[in-house]
Chain A
C-alpha cells in the first residue's frame, strides 16, 4: 500500500514528536520533515511535493493559514491546534480534518482514514482528460485541452476557453484537486492556468490568448519552475 508523504509544521517540539510517533506507528504516513515555522515549511514545499501537511495554526511569525494562502499546490491538510476557535477557518480552507492537541492515536487514525478515502476518490479521476460542468440546467463537456484558465468568482468559477466563457458553482481549491496537476497550475489564489496555453510572461502577468492573468508573489517561484525557462 502506498504511504502518505507528509510534513509536520509545528512550533512545539513535544507535539511534533508525538505526531511523528503516531505516523511511524501507523505505517501509513511517512514524515519527510518537521518545520518550526511557516517560512521554513514553504521553502521545503517549493522544492518538494507532499500528499499531506499536519499544520499548526499559531506559530511564531506567519500562521498556518498564511501557509495555505501561499502554497502553490493543494496537498491535504490536517490542522493540529489546541484552539477550537479555528474550526470555522478550517472549514473555509477546506482542510481534511481538525485535530485538537493533545489527541489520541485512535483519533489520529480516524483522521488518516479520511485522507485515504479522499485520496482514493482523487486517484479514480486522474486519467480523465475532460470534465463536465453544470451551466444552468445543462452539463457541458470541456476537454482539458480547451481550457485556457479558470478564474474564481466568489462561490463560482469562470472557465475560459478560446471561444467561450462558462460560469459554474465551484471553487479553485476543489478544481485544483480534480484537474490534471501536470497541466494545470494555481498561479494566484483566484486563478488556475493551463500551462500549455501560456503565450508570454510579462513581470507578474501571464498572457494567455489575449487574456491577462496575475501571478501572486507566493506562486511566482513555482510558476517560473514549471515554465521550462532555459
Chain B
C-alpha cells in the first residue's frame, strides 16, 4: 500500500491521492513513467488549445480541452480536471469565443500550476524509487 508505512510514499496533498492509490496500486515506478509522460505531452496538448482559441474555432477548442482533461485524470489533478470539464461544457454551449475568455485564462494559469505540481511530484517519485533500487 502507498502511504501506510514509514518508508512508503505519500502523494502530494495537491493531488487526488485516493484516485492515484487506486490507479497505481503501489506501482510507483509506473507512476513515475506516467508523470514523466504527462510533462512530455502537456505542452503539445495545451498548444492545441491555444491554437484553437486564437483561431476562434470553438469546436476545435472543445476537442482540445477534452483531450487535455483526460490527461489530467491520470496524474490526479482532479480539481483542474473539473475546470476543464466546465470549459468543455461551455464550449458546447457557446457560439462566441469572447464568452470563453475568462475561463481560457484561468485554464492557462491553472494548467501551469498543475504542471509545476507534477514536476515536483515527479522529482519526489524519482527520489523515492531511486532509493529502492
Contacts and interface: CB of A to CB of B under 8 A. Distances in A.
B117 interface: no
A82 interface: yes
Contacts of A12: 41, 67, 70-71
B53 interface: no
B101 interface: no
Interface string B5-42: 00000000000000100110100001001100110010
B124 interface: no
Contact of B74 (A18, A58, A60, A83): A18
Contacts of B37: 13-14, 17
B66 interface: yes
Contacts of A102: 19, 23, 70, 73-74
B: contact size bracket: 10 to 19
Contacts, number: 42
Contact of B63 (A13, A58, A82): A58
A101 B25 contact: no
A44 interface: no
B66 A18 contact: no
Interface residues of A, number: 16
A82 B69 contact: yes
Contact of B41 (A13, A21, A60): A13
A15 B70 CA distance: 8
Interface majority SS (helix, strand, loop, mixed), chain A: loop
Contacts of A13: 37, 41
Given A13-B37, A14-B71, A101-B73, A82 B25 contact: no
Nearest to B35: A14
A21 B73 contact: no
B66 A58 contact: yes
A104 interface: yes
A144 B109 CA distance: 63
Contacts of A83: 66
Interface string A93-104: 000000001101
Given A102-B23, A104-B22, A104-B23, A14 B66 contact: no
Interface in A1-18: 11-15, 17-18
Nearest to B81: A82
Contacts of B63: 58, 60
Contact of B70 (A21, A60, A82, A104): A82
7 contacts: A12-B70, A14-B34, A15-B74, A58-B63, A102-B23, A102-B70, A104-B23
Given A82-B69, A82-B73, 5 more contacts: A12-B71, A13-B41, A14-B34, A82-B70, A102-B23
